[in-house]
Amino acid sequence: MTPEELTCRLNNLHTAAEVVEAIDNPELQERRGWDLSRWRYDLVPWGVRFTYLDPLSRDKSEVLAQVRIA
């Protein structure tokens, strides 16, 4: 999954939690048709930081899912 695809998928912290679960569970990734093999995550006080390492350029991208305070 590209950073752009992940960004479109993350609507709220519930979907972020689903992605975290799938990163930790390759069988779940396969069932959902996701390839998250290049993704890592860090739980932070305000949400989740997802980090992607591009295998060709070795560039890193970050996608943030954060708590929205109304």
End-to-end CA gap in the chain: 30
Task: Report helix, strand or coil for 40.
Answer: strand
What CA–CA distance (Å, rounded) separates 49 from 70?
Answer: 21
pLDDT reading at 69 higher than 70: no
Percent of the chain with pLDDT over 90: 61
Residue range 7-38, pLDDT digits in tens: 999 988 899 999 999 999 999 999 999 999 99
pLDDT class of 70 with cuts at 50, 70, 90: low
Closest by Cα among 6, 2, 4, 5 to 20: 6
pLDDT at position 54 is 83
Domain limits of the chain? 3-66
* Per-residue pLDDT at 31: 95
Contact 16, 6 (CB under 8 A): no
